[in-house]
């Protein structure tokens, strides 16, 4: 079946959930999850490759709970880009156990080193908790801090207009365009 126009997919890697001994008292979806350490590169390449060969690979964002495999996902995303869609396959933002200072910095740095940071769709929101919206503010601060550090170290141009537009794209425009969201006037 060919990929459906306008559809996107999210692939989550390395979630070992739930830990049954802990959920009996509290019920499901209240925590007690952990990172899975199963091999990822080969099975993911087979899955995405099969979909791609059958023209059934939609726009996809790859999220990983195990930071050990960040580079796997960043490089894997580069293997499955498509004509007419900038950033068709994305290495998603640091998530779950990784959406904290070290995890977010690590993910953005690895994406910038291996992929294309300027096409990044930015931070995701956990719909189960309205407090997760604060992650977007934290994410924006860390992104700007990282880019500012690059400028100070001479690794990026001191071009406020260029870098400001890149930050706007990462924090809003890229996701709007990627998901085809049309905003009212």
Looking at residue 135, what is its pLDDT?
Answer: 84
Looking at residue 18, what is its pLDDT?
Answer: 56
Looking at residue 153, what is its pLDDT?
Answer: 98
What b/e string do you get for 114-145 counting C-beta neighbours within 10 Å, with b at 16 or more? bbbbbbbbbbbeeeeeeeeeebeeebbebbee
Looking at residue 14, what is its pLDDT?
Answer: 56
Looking at residue 95, what is its pLDDT?
Answer: 83
* Residue-range domain boundaries for the chain: 8-178
Structure tokens of 70?
């960040």
Looking at residue 121, what is its pLDDT?
Answer: 95
Across the chain, which has 185 residues, the per-10-residue mean pLDDT values are 58 59 60 80 95 91 91 94 85 88 96 95 78 85 98 98 98 94 84
Question: Taking the domain 8-178, which CATH number applies?
Answer: 3.20.20.140
Looking at residue 158, what is its pLDDT?
Answer: 98
């Amino acid at each position: 079946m060919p990929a459906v126009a306008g559809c996107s997919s999210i692939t989550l890697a390395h979630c070992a959930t739930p830990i049954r001994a802990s959920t009996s008292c509290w019920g499901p979806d209240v925590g007690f999850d952990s990172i899975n350490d199963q091999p990822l590169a080969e099975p993911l390449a087979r899955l995405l490759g099969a979909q791609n060969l059958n023209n059934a690979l939609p726009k996809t964002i790859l999220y990983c709970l195990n930071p050990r495999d960040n580079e796997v996902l960043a490089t894997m995303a580069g293997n499955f880009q498509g004509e007419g869609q900038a950033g068709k396959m994305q290495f998603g933002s640091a998530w779950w156990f990784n959406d904290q200072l070290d995890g977010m910095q690590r993910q953005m740095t690895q994406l910038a080193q291996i992929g294309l940071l300027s096409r990044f769709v930015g931070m995701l929101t956990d719909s189960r908790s309205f407090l997760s919206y604060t992650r977007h503010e934290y994410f924006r601060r860390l992104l700007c801090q990282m880019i500012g550090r690059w400028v100070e170290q001479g690794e990026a141009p001191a071009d406020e207009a260029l870098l400001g537009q890149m930050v706007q794209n990462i924090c809003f425009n890229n996701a709007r365009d990627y998901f085809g969201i049309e905003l009212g006037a």
